[in-house]
C-alpha cells in the first residue's frame, strides 16, 4: 500500500513536470491533440466478449513495435476465432500505424496514463485475459491491475539497454515488484537474457526468441506501382535516389548541409525525406526551402508537373516502406541525434537497399550488432557522411554488395515470431484448445 502510494505521487509529480512541455507541443507542434484526453480514459469503449472467448490486450508503444507485433497478432486472430484483440499505443503515429497494419484488430486504443483512477476505469471496461507487451514500456499500475483481474502477462521481443538495467538495479525495490508481474519474457538476445536475470527475473520465466522485427513482411510494390510512385515524386528513371527515413530535428538540416555539394555535383542524385512525425512536415519544408535547392512535396507534386526536384519531402503517413522500394541507398535516421537512438535498419535491408545509419544507435543496439556482424550496414559520423554517399553514388558494385548482405541478414534472422507465438501458446493453452 505504501509502495503504491509512493508510486502514484511520483507519477503525478513527473506528469506535472512534463505538462508545460506537452501543452507547448500541442499548441505549436500540434502533438497530443487527439491522444491526450483519451489517455485518461476519455471515450474508452466498453469491450464485449465474443461467445465467451478470451480478450487479448496487445501494447505496441509506437510505430516500429506496431509493425513488428502484427504477425503475432494475426496468428492469434487466425487461431482463436472468438478472441477479442485490443491494440494500444502511446504515440499518435503509432496509433495510426497500428490501425493500418492491424486492421483485423477489434479495437485500437491509447494506453491510459499510469494513474490508478485512469487504469482502474479502463481495465474495468476491458478485463483482459492476456496482456502482451511488445519490446518495452512497463507500467506498474497497468500491469498490477491487469494481474489482479487475472490476466496472463507476457513480453514479446523484450529488450533492455545497459543504462536501463543500471537504473532498474538502483531502484531494485521497484523493479522486482514490476517484473514479478510478468509471467513470461520472450527476449531478443542472450544479452537481454543476462540483464533481466541480473535484475532478479527467474530463468524459468525467460526465453531468447529473437527480434520479431526481422519477421515483418512488408508489402512489395509491383513494377507498375513503383513507376507510378516515382512519377508522383517527380523522380526520373535514371535518378539515383537516397531515402532519408524517419528523420527528427535537426537531422534534415544537417544531412542536407552535408550533402549539398553532392546534390549540385551529381545531376541525377536526388534525396527523398520522410520525417518521423507528421506535425513536423511544415517545419521540414521550410528547412528544405532555405537550401535553395529545387524541391517539392508529395502533396504539391501535382501542382508543379514540370519540376525536376533535387529534394522531395514526403508529407504523408504510411509511405516510408514504399519509398524504400525506390531507393538506391537509404539513411535510417533518428541516429544523427543523441535524443532518439536510431530506428529499424531492417526495413530498407528487407528490400536489398544499402543502409546507412549515424553514430547514435543506442535504442537499436542489438540490431546494429547483428547488422555489423553481417557487414550489412554502414555506420558513419556526420562529418564522413558525404564521403560515404559519394562512394555509393559512384560505385554501383558496392551498393549491390551491401544490399545483398542486408538481404542475407534478414533471411538469417527469420523465425522470431513463430518462437514467440509458440511461447504464448504454451503459456495460455486453454485459449488454443479449440
pLDDT of residue 1: 66
Told to judge if 228 belongs to the known catalytic residues of this protein, a careful annotator would answer no
CATH of region 32-210+420-431, choose from 3.20.20.140, 3.40.190.10, 3.40.50.11720, 3.40.50.2300: 3.40.50.11720
Q: What percentage of the chain carries pLDDT values higher than 90?
A: 75
pLDDT score recorded for residue 28: 78
Predicted model pTM = 0.82
Residue 55 pairs in a beta bridge with 84
One DSSP character per residue, 86-131 reads EEEESSHHHHHHHHHH-TTSSEEEEPPPS-HHHHHHHHHHH--SEE
CA angle 27, 28, 30 (to 5 degrees): 65
Which carries the bigger pLDDT value, residue 140 or residue 432? Answer: 140
Taking only the tens place, the pLDDT of each residue in 186-207 is: 999 899 999 999 999 999 999 9
CA 380 to chain centre: 22
pLDDT greater than 80 at residue 340: yes
Domain with CATH 3.40.50.2000 in the chain: 223-413
pLDDT digits (tens, 9 = 90+) for 26-58: 887 777 778 889 999 988 998 989 998 999 999
Q: Is the pLDDT of residue 303 over 90?
A: no
Q: Which pLDDT score, from 0 to 100, does residue 72 have? A: 94
The pLDDT value given to residue 217: 85
Query: Averaged over 263-287, what is the pLDDT?
Result: 94
User: What pLDDT score does 158 carry?
Assistant: 93
pLDDT at 6: 85
C-alpha 171/C-alpha 62 separation (Å) is 26
Residues of each domain in the chain carrying CATH 3.40.50.11720: 32-210+420-431
Contact 130, 54 (CB under 8 A): yes
For 386-391, which contacts have Cβ atoms below 8 Å and span 24 or more sequence positions? 386/258, 386/259, 386/261, 386/262, 388/356, 389/242, 389/259, 389/262, 389/329, 389/356, 390/262
**Residue from 8, 29, 48, 65 carrying the catalytic annotation:** 65
Query: Span 303-314, mean pLDDT?
Result: 85
Residue that has been written with the C-alpha cell 538502483 in this structure? 170
Grid coordinates representing 72? 503475432
Per-residue pLDDT band at 398 (split at 50, 70, 90): very high
Domain over 223-413 is classified CATH 3.30.70.920: no
Q: Would you place residue 434 in the very low, low, confident or very high pLDDT band (cuts 50, 70, 90)?
A: low
| CB of 312 closer than 8 Å to CB of 274 | no
Amino acid at each position: 500500500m505504501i509502495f503504491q502510494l509512493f508510486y502514484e505521487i511520483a507519477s503525478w509529480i513527473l506528469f506535472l513536470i512534463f505538462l508545460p512541455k506537452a501543452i507547448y507541443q500541442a499548441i505549436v507542434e500540434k502533438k497530443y491533440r487527439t491522444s491526450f484526453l483519451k489517455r485518461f480514459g476519455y471515450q474508452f469503449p466498453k469491450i464485449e466478449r465474443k461467445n465467451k472467448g478470451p480478450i487479448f490486450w496487445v501494447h505496441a508503444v509506437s510505430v516500429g513495435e506496431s509493425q513488428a507485433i502484427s504477425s503475432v497478432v494475426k496468428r492469434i486472430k487466425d487461431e482463436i476465432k472468438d478472441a477479442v484483440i485490443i491494440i494500444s499505443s502511446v504515440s499518435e503515429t503509432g496509433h495510426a500505424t497500428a490501425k493500418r497494419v492491424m486492421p483485423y484488430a477489434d479495437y485500437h486504443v491509447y494506453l491510459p496514463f499510469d494513474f490508478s483512477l485512469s487504469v482502474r476505469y479502463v481495465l474495468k471496461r476491458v478485463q483482459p485475459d492476456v496482456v502482451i507487451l511488445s519490446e518495452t514500456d512497463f507500467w506498474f499500475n497497468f500491469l498490477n491491475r491487469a494481474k489482479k483481474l487475472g490476466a496472463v502477462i507476457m513480453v514479446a521481443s523484450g529488450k533492455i539497454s545497459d543504462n536501463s538495467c543500471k537504473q532498474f538495479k538502483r531502484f531494485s525495490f521497484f523493479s522486482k515488484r514490476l517484473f514479478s508481474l510478468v509471467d513470461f519474457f520472450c527476449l531478443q538476445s542472450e544479452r537481454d537474457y543476462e540483464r533481466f536475470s541480473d535484475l532478479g527475473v527467474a530463468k524459468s520465466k525467460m526465453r531468447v526468441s529473437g527480434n520479431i522485427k526481422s519477421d515483418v513482411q512488408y508489402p512489395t510494390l509491383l513494377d507498375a506501382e513503383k513507376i507510378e510512385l516515382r512519377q508522383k515524386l517527380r523522380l526520373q528513371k535514371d535518378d539515383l535516389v537516397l531515402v532519408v527515413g524517419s528523420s527528427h530535428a535537426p537531422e534534415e538540416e544537417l544531412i542536407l548541409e552535408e550533402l549539398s555539394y553532392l546534390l549540385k555535383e551529381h545531376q541525377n542524385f536526388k534525396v527523398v525525406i520522410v520525417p518521423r512525425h507528421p506535425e513536423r512536415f511544415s517545419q521540414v519544408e521550410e528547412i528544405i526551402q532555405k537550401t535553395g535547392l529545387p524541391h517539392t512535396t508529395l502533396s504539391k507534386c501535382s501542382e508543379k508537373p514540370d519540376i525536376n526536384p533535387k529534394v522531395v519531402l514526403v508529407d504523408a503517413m504510411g509511405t516510408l516502406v514504399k519509398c524504400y522500394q525506390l531507393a538506391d541507398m537509404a539513411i535510417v535516421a533518428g541516429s544523427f541525434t543523441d535524443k532518439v537512438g536510431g530506428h529499424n535498419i531492417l526495413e530498407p535491408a528487407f528490400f536489398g537497399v544499402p543502409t546507412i545509419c549515424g553514430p547514435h544507435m543506442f535504442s537499436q543496439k542489438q540490431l546494429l550488432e547483428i547488422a555489423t556482424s553481417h557487414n550489412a550496414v554502414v555506420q558513419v559520423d556526420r562529418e564522413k557522411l558525404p564521403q560515404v554517399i559519394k562512394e555509393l553514388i559512384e560505385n554501383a558494385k558496392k551498393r549491390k554488395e551491401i544490399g545483398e548482405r542486408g538481404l542475407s541478414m534478414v533471411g538469417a534472422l527469420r523465425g522470431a515470431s513463430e518462437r514467440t507465438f509458440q511461447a504464448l501458446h504454451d503459456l495460455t493453452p486453454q485459449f488454443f484448445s479449440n
